[in-house]
Each structure stands twice: as C-alpha cells, then as structure tokens.
Structure 1
Amino acid sequence: MAWIHSSLPVLRRIDIERKTNMLVSNKLKYCSYCRKSKWKLAAIKLAKMESNNLEESVTSLSALETTTVVDTIATAKESNFYRKFRHIPKTLKDMEFLSFKWKGKYNVNYFVDGRNSSEPILLVHGFGASIGHWRKNIPFFVEAGYRVYAVDLLGFGASEKPRLNEYSLELWKELLVDFCCHMQRDKKWVLCGNSIGALLCLMVGSDFPNLVDSLILLNCAGGLTSFRESELSFPGAVLYRLVRLLLFNSLTGPLFFRSFRTRENILKLLNQVYIDKGAVDEYLLEILHLPSLDEGAEHVFLKTLGGSPGPSPEKLLPNISCPILMLWGEDDPWTPYRKGFHPGIKFPEYNKNLKLISLPKTGHCPHDERPQQVHEILLPWLQNNKNI
C-alpha cells in the first residue's frame, strides 16, 4: 500500500504529461485557410507552459483548444488605444474567404468584414504575401467603422495562378479597379497597401481619382523590381541584364524558384526585413510558403520578376490630389528610407498632400511588425480626414 501511495504522484504527473502532449498534438493539426482543400494553415503560437504546475498548464491549453492563432503582440505596456479595443482579437482566429470571378474566368480570393453601409477600405499586400498579412489590422479597421476588404492579387495567396504571358503592375491595377467597382461602385475608397501593394494604390489613385478618397502607403516600393535598368550605369545595366537572363530563363528559372521558395530561405528573408524577430512567427512563415507550392506559382514568380518594373512613385505622386499618409520603417533594407534609388524621405517633395511618418527600429512591413504604432497613427489620421 505504501508503494502504491508513493507512486500516485508519479502516475498523476505521467497522466498530466500525456494529456499535455495530446493537447499540443491536437493544436498542431491543420485548419482550413480557404475554400481550396489543398490550402492549409498550421495552428501556431501555443500557450507557453511557464508555470511549474503542469495541471494548470493543461487547463490553459484546454481553454485555447478552439483558437487557431494566438496573439503575438506583447500586452505588458498596452496603450490607451489598445485598452479601448481590448475585446478585439489582434490576430484573426478564423478567416472566411470569398471568391470574386474576375473577367468572368479568374478566381480571386478576398475577405470582407464590417457594416455594408460603412466607408470601404481595401488592403493590398506586397509581393509574395496574401490576405493573412493583414491579420493584425483588419479587426481594428472594422471597429473604427470601416467596411474592410482584403484581396489576394492574381497569382498570389489563394487566388488563381493562371499561366499568363505577363504578370505586371498594370494587370493588378486593373484588378483592383474592377474589384472596387464591383463591390461598391457608388463610394470612394480608402486604399491601403504595403510594398508593391502601396505602389499599386498610387497607380489607382493617379489613374482613377474619382474612385479614391485617401491613400495609406506602407514602405512603398520603387517598382516591381528594386531598380530599373535605366537607373544604372552602363556596366551595371549590362550586368543586371545578364543576371536576369541567367536567373529567369526556362532552364535555370524553375531551379532558382524551387531553391528560393524553401521555408529556410523564406525565414532568412523575413529575418532580414523584420527588425523585431518576435514578429516572425510560424503563421507568417506559412502564409508566405504555402502559396508557393500551388500549381502555377513558379510561372507567376518568374514572369513577375522577369517583367517590367512599372511606374515609379516619383512619377505618380504629382498626379494625386487626395490625402496621402506614408508610414515607413526606417531600417528596411529593401525599400530604404534615406538612400537607394527611391528613398522614402524624399517623397513629400513630390506631393504637398503627403504626410510622411517614419518608424524607428522597424523594417519592411510596419503593419505586421509594429501594428500598435501603425494603428495609433493611421486611424486618427483617417478620422481627421472624415471631419475635414
């Protein structure tokens, strides 16, 4: 009897550990990301079992059993803004997607939330990203009173990836205009984009001013590629053309893409452009990696990087009359703030309606890396535009 009595704590601990392992295993099961059955997203960021009391840890894991994504934003020093919107999830737990049939033949994946009568805002992701990149922002736009749309550009995310002769900024600009007109033709839109998504918003604002109420640009790209051949010296232009021929031809291009799309390489890229490494979680890695496994992803990648860089922000900005808010991560190595071919710090010179705010210790994706700072600047600016 004494032996049995002394063994009970050990057996109890083993049982608790078994339950813990079972719950962790269940948490790592995949959940549906969109209507395509082959698209899956891992459930990540499990509760950290910091307590020595394993039974308490099991209870906390059980409470999180229905959660897909756990908040990654530190709450130790929450601002008044976050206290006000405490009930809103800072990451979307469940995202339900719809499909827009563009040109009557291409399925374009999109997400919508908010009252139908509210002012519409469209979120446009950057190269290789998708709707999921806005998971920390959508709830706050909805709470602020907007009808929020987010779209996967053709060829990215869960949208169709057809074998077109060309993937270009002009193609995606046409998609965004058609999407806005189809969803809410009678209203002006707020357009918000990151990287090439920001450049696309500029293109729509320049060519279709009656469609746009205001623009929010996050680390705006200088083009579909970092620079243009015309911006280089003669030796540099020759070398640039040679590299493009070597990397994006039909023989070496597929090999380059398959090497580029590995989880390890994507993680390296994220660690380059995110200054806060804590923001680089498994969810972010998956929303970038999984679309690259789709049929047609290789074709889209090679056609995009082998195509035209499109118009520069410097050429587009003088044509825009609506208010523009430009937020810029100062430590972005891809679209530098102070140097490079298209430094963000010079953009206010091209448009008197442009308000530029830099974010120190922030990289290429401020909305995902520093969402709290972005919301505290962005939402009051939008409200002020409404009041005016």
Structure 2
Amino acid sequence: MGSNNKQSRLVELGSMIIFTILDIVDSILCIVYAYIDHFLETDTPSPCYCLQTSVSDSDSDSDSLYGRIRKPNSFRKLVGFINPNNNNSNNRILHKSIRNHDSTKRTCWSDCSCASCAAWIHNNYNDAHRLRLHVVVQQPEEKKVIENVIFLHGFMSSSSFWTETIFSHFSDHTKNKYRLFGVDLLGFGKSPKPRECLYTLEDHLEMIEESIIFSFKLNSFHLVAHSMGSILALALAAKYPDSVRSITLIAPPYFPTCDKEEEEEASLFMLRKVASKKLWPPLVFGTSLMSWYEHLGRTVCFFICKYHRIWEFLLKLLTRTRDLHFLIMDSTKHTHHSAWHTMHNVICGSAKKMEEYLATLQKARLKVIVIHGEEDQIVPIECSYNIKIKIPDADIRIIPNTNHITVVLAQIKDFTQQLELIWM
C-alpha cells in the first residue's frame, strides 16, 4: 500500500515538472511566434490568449473562453513587455458575424496553402462576402424528397466520416426518398477557415443555417451527429424543435455541471474532463498538450499540417498504397486557429448551455437516440447515461467491442439499418 502511494506521488511530481517545463516552453514560443507573425503577416496578427485575464461582456462574444484557459504567471507577465503584438488597443481577437464575414481570403504563413487546403479561398461564391460550408448532397434520383437528414462530424474530421462510410449503404428506399447532407464544419475539411473568426458555437450554427437550412429551404429534417457534432446537433434541435424529426447522437461529450456553477467554471470543468493533464496514456497526454498549450499546439500543427503532403507521400511509400484512409487525410484539413478555438469555444465553451438544450428537447418530446461504443476511451459511456438522466425517454444503445470511431466504422451496415428504422 505504501509503495503504491509513493509511486503515485512520484507520478504526480513528474507530471508537475513536465507540465511546468511545457508552460515555460509555451511562453517562449509565444515570443517567437509574435515576432515571426509581426514580420511575415501583412495584416495585424491576432493576439494570443497568454496575457488575457478577462474580457468585459461588451468587448467579447459570450461563447469564447478568452483568458479562462491560461492564467498569467510571473513568466507570462514578463512576456508582455517584449511581445510586439501586446498593446491595449489590440488585446483581444476581433470577432465579426461569420454570416456576413468580409474575410481576408488568404492563409497564415504557418498554415498550408496547397490547392486542397486553400480551395475555399478560390471558390467563386455567389456573394463574395457570404461564406459557405462545403456540403456533399446525396439527392434522390426521383427527386421526390420526403425528408432531409443533416450529418455532422466530430472534431478533427470532415463529411468524409459519413460520405465514405454509410452513404452508399442505405437501402434503395432511403436513397430514393431521403436527401442526405454531409457537411464540413467551419474550419475543417474543405470548408472556409477564416482567420478573424473565433469559431464559437454561434459561428458554427450560423454557417450550418446559411449553407443548408436556409439555402435548401428545409422545413423539417433529421439530425445525425458524432462526438463534437453532437453539441451542434443539440443546439440546432433546441433552436428548431418544431422542425427536427429525430436526433441521433453518437458518443456525445456531455458532463453535467452544477446548476450554481458559472459558465467560465463549467467550461474549465469540461476542459479538464476531455483534456486532463496526464502523462499517460499517450493519447491523453497528446490531447492535453494540444488543448492547454496554444503555441506548442501551433508548432505541432505547423510541422504536421503545413507539410502534410510530405508526410502523406512518405506514408504512401511505407504502406505501398495510392490512397490513404480518409481518417488520416482529414486529420490535417484544418488550421491551428480553427482547431484551437473550436475545441475551447464549442466543446468546452458550451458546457453550461448543454443543460438548456437538453431541457428544451425534453419539453418538446423530441425523438432522441444515443449510440455509444462500449470501449470508447475518448468520450466515456457515462456521457450517454448523463443524457438519459436529463431525457428519460432517450433511447440509449451501447455497442459492444467498439470504440469512439469503430462504433460507426465497424458496423456500417447495422448502423445504416438502425438509422433507417429511426427515421420511419
């Protein structure tokens, strides 16, 4: 017993030392990137979160975490004196309505600008000031649509999660009667990745509305969402309870918070749940590194995402294959800016709002189905049971021998059949 306690203390001490070193390195990188951005960017670079302790409600979007993640220590205060982007008039990221976003259509020096990553910049939109998401539409051949279905993917993914798996496995009845929408969320896949955007929950919702609901004039639709997409699906369903016919959530990240808990505390609570600062297992350490350290995360994205074509070429040589799996391809189709903000302002920033969304769905008596992999180590099963507590009529389905991804990929035929029964 004593040896276990001693080992536990050693692990805690090791974690404290490692994360303290990471904090110092991240602060140094803050200075490095500030100067590089200052000299290489023609526009005024967006400031980072390192020195931001609080932002008044009048100056910020309520969905954004801003300085909640990193509380400045003495080392970070020193950074403020030598950071060229630190001034009183530019101490926060400017945010505009994404729906009418007059975006500078170019990439940051540290982001990839290949034809695939920058495709949205060169697209000829009907209105140059109105961005649109990339949407894959599977239209019934007979064009007699009886219902619509919107598919929302999870974090670090794209519409390929659906279009490359289940879209071709539906029955002829579904293919002839249902219109299926696979959407690349804002900042991911082939969708726009504007640099001035904070990627808040509201930004994502506005773009889904503009690109699908309004553009195709949908009066009713089903929702199917995986992981982070479940948060957006719940928000959409709560906003359009009379239009949603059913909502199917796969591995929804929902950790209930105390009713008295402030929104800021709820967001940090969620961040600690999904990205706890641990050295082991490696997946958890990687998640915590990318979620807590803005500049270290940017460095990782710089080497992996900016030079993704090199890694893909090498991987093809090693595996002797022409086409890499879509999950590998999707993992680099974002910018650090879009991924960082979406992680904090959607997954974490919506923690307090989830209670309201679920209450609205319960009141509207919407058909809610929750599907979860029994071996999911990214989003624990308890999240699905937490939804059951809020919506007693929710249909909870635990799939044995599956995890966060294989809950769909390992049972594609069964999964499509389940969806068709849900839509009946």
Distance in 2 separating the partners of 1:237 and 1:206: 29
Q: Give the conservation status (yes or no) of the 8 Å contact 1:121–1:147.
A: yes
Q: Relative to structure 2, which stretch is displaced further, 114-123 or 252-261?
A: 252-261
Q: Does 2:219 match 1:191?
A: no
Sort the Cα spacing of 1:301 and 1:371 in 2 relative to 1 into closer, same or farther, 3 A: same
Q: How many residues get paired?
A: 261
Counterpart in 2 of 1:162? 194
Distance in 1 separating the partners of 2:271 and 2:339: 24
Counterpart in 2 of 1:128? 156
Match of 1:299 among 333, 337, 356: 337
Counterpart in 2 of 1:272? none
Counterpart in 1 of 2:377? 333
Q: 1:93-143, CA deviations, whole angstroms, 9 ceiling, x for partnerless residues?
A: xxxxx9976894324211111224311111111111111111211124473
Match of 1:349 among 389, 392, 406: 389
1:229, distance to aligned residue in structure 2 (A): 1.5
Q: Give the conservation status (yes or no) of the 8 Å contact 2:290–2:297.
A: no
1:150, distance to aligned residue in structure 2 (A): 0.9
Which secondary structure does the structure 2 equivalent of 1:327 belong to? strand
Gaps of 5+ in 2: 1-112, 118-122, 256-265, 279-287, 313-322
Q: Does 2:376 match 1:310?
A: no
Equivalences for residues 213-362 of structure 1 within 5 A: 213-222=245-254, 228-230=267-269, 247-249=293-295, 252-258=296-302, 261=305, 282-292=324-334, 297-307=335-345, 309-312=348-351, 313-320=354-361, 321=364, 322-338=366-382, 343-362=383-402
Match of 2:115 among 32, 35, 38: 38
Counterpart in 2 of 1:368? 409
Distance in 1 separating the partners of 2:338 and 2:199: 7
Sort the Cα spacing of 1:328 and 1:260 in 2 relative to 1 into closer, same or farther, 3 A: farther
Q: Give the conservation status (yes or no) of the 8 Å contact 1:132–1:287.
A: no
1:38, distance to aligned residue in structure 2 (A): 2.2
Sort the Cα spacing of 1:175 and 1:210 in 2 relative to 1 into closer, same or farther, 3 A: farther
Counterpart in 1 of 2:134? 109
Counterpart in 2 of 1:84? none
Which secondary structure does the structure 1 equivalent of 2:154 belong to? coil
1:329 partner amino acid:
G
1:303 partner amino acid:
H
1:256 partner amino acid:
V
Which secondary structure does the structure 2 equivalent of 1:318 belong to? helix
Which secondary structure does the structure 1 equivalent of 2:379 belong to? coil
Counterpart in 1 of 2:206? 174
Equivalences for residues 31-110 of structure 1 within 5 A: 38-39=115-116, 104-110=129-135
> Which structure would you say has the larger RCO, counting Cα contacts within 8 Å and 6 or more residues apart?
2
1:370, distance to aligned residue in structure 2 (A): 2.1
Q: Give the conservation status (yes or no) of the 8 Å contact 2:157–2:188.
A: yes
The structure whose Rg is larger is 1
1:314, distance to aligned residue in structure 2 (A): 4.2
Which secondary structure does the structure 1 equivalent of 2:133 belong to? strand
Q: Give the conservation status (yes or no) of the 8 Å contact 2:133–2:184.
A: yes
Sort the Cα spacing of 1:382 and 1:306 in 2 relative to 1 into closer, same or farther, 3 A: closer
TM-score by length of 2: 0.53
Distance in 2 separating the partners of 1:237 and 1:332: 16
2:338 partner amino acid:
V
Q: Give the conservation status (yes or no) of the 8 Å contact 2:132–2:211.
A: no
Q: Give the conservation status (yes or no) of the 8 Å contact 1:108–1:160.
A: yes
Which secondary structure does the structure 2 equivalent of 1:112 belong to? strand
2:301 partner amino acid:
F
1:132 partner amino acid:
S
Sort the Cα spacing of 1:380 and 1:102 in 2 relative to 1 into closer, same or farther, 3 A: farther
Sort the Cα spacing of 1:238 and 1:190 in 2 relative to 1 into closer, same or farther, 3 A: closer
What's the RMSD between the two structures over aligned residues?
3.7
Distance in 1 separating the partners of 2:214 and 2:203: 17
Q: Give the conservation status (yes or no) of the 8 Å contact 1:157–1:287.
A: no
2:341 partner amino acid:
K
1:360, distance to aligned residue in structure 2 (A): 0.8
Sort the Cα spacing of 1:238 and 1:368 in 2 relative to 1 into closer, same or farther, 3 A: closer
Gaps of 5+ in 1: 1-35, 41-97, 268-280, 384-388
